Amino acid sequence: MTTVTAIVLAGGQSKRMGPDKALVLREGVPMLQRVYRVAVECGVPVAVMTPWRDRYREILPPDCRWLEENLPGKGPLVALAQGMAQLESDWVWLLACDLPQLDAAILRGWIDRLPSLSASTLACVPQQPRGWEPLCGFYRREARSPLDEFLATGGRSFQQWLPRIEVAPIPVGEPEARMLHNCNTPED
């Protein structure tokens, strides 16, 4: 049976947003809490990676699993590598905390697709005309070695790393594009 664990990233600096975007309310609910709940609704274990556990404890369940972010501020690609090192699942589902419009029905369909992918496929990521949407993507455990090699060369960009591995693109139509809209500024 294919195992999947979601990692919700909550370690960004929120420079464009101003206040901590994980705590920004969307329909009265902090964005981090919304993303966490949708991942749980998808039926997979969920962990939160952040250097600020105490900041978020009150908005997440007491049994929330926390992952250590040993190199905060180094970006989501480094966070993915750190998270993969702390998990045993076949796939890591990486989620940004600023995706308040996630749709569990669409996401469960993506999760259900993972067992049918070839063993050589190391990632399954939504792809739009402007590029990959890596912060709602799935990464096979075996992707860790090529990821570590890329990071060792100074690489920090998903858009540069993903073309180096075999990726199964997830087609993005209008409902998926709306779902993948992230909130970077107060206007979003």
Q: CATH number, domain at 13?
A: 3.90.550.10
Residue 187 scores a pLDDT above 80: no
Q: What is the rounded (10 degree) CA torsion for 127, 128, 132, 134? A: -80
Tell me the pLDDT tens digit for each residue of 39-91: 999 999 999 999 999 999 999 999 999 998 888 889 999 999 999 999 999 99
Can you give the residue range of the structural domain that contains 141? 4-179
Q: What is the pTM of this model?
A: 0.94
Tell me the pLDDT tens digit for each residue of 31-41: 999 999 999 99
Give domain status of residue 186, yes or no.
no
Give domain status of residue 105, yes or no.
yes
Beta carbons within 8 Å of 186's beta carbon, 6+ residues apart: 17, 18
User: For the chain, what is the radius of gyration of the CA atoms?
Assistant: 15
* H or E segment and range at residue 91: strand 91-96
Backbone angles phi, psi at 88, to 5 degrees: -110, 0
DSSP conformational letter for 148 = H
